[in-house]
């Protein structure tokens, strides 16, 4: 598998199938802190911070990454925590795009700490 951080999201055109849970679990090896939802449709991770300011700075950086990739997450924001969820709405499941963005968000978090 190519390193996901070097890839760019590609818009889903036409009818493509979502990844199976098995395929998703293989891709999770590059982002081991992420989890697949019980229904196998989403991946998610919780990020912890020391302050609200750090949380919001992270959220803004995630927004920038999402805009660059044209692939947007669901974000749940609290004082010192942000839960990030990715799934591909067009196919109602997981695609490689979700893992590309998750990898980039992980890299952002590592650099922010």
Task: Give me the residue spans of the domains in the chain.
Answer: 52-113
Per-residue pLDDT tens over the stretch 28-61: 999 999 999 999 999 999 999 999 999 999 999 9
CA 108 to each of CA 47, 52, 101: distance values in angstroms, whole numbers, following the listed order: 11, 17, 11
Q: Is the pLDDT of residue 1 over 50?
A: no
74 close to 59: Cβ distance less than 8 angstroms: no
CATH of span 52-113: 3.30.1360.20
Mean pLDDT of 90-112: 90
Residue 77 backbone dihedrals phi, psi, to 5 degrees: -115, 135
């Amino acid at each position: 598998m190519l390193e996901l951080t070097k890839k760019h999201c590609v818009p889903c055109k036409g009818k493509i199938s979502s990844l199976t849970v098995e395929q998703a679990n293989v891709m999770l090896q590059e982002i081991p802190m992420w989890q697949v939802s019980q229904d196998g449709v989403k991946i998610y991770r919780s990020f912890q911070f020391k302050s609200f300011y750090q949380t919001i700075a992270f959220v803004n950086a995630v927004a920038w990454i999402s805009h660059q990739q044209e692939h947007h997450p669901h974000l749940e924001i609290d004082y010192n925590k942000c839960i990030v969820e990715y799934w591909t709405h067009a196919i109602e499941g997981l695609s490689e795009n979700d893992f590309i963005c998750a990898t980039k968000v992980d890299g952002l978090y590592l650099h922010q700490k």
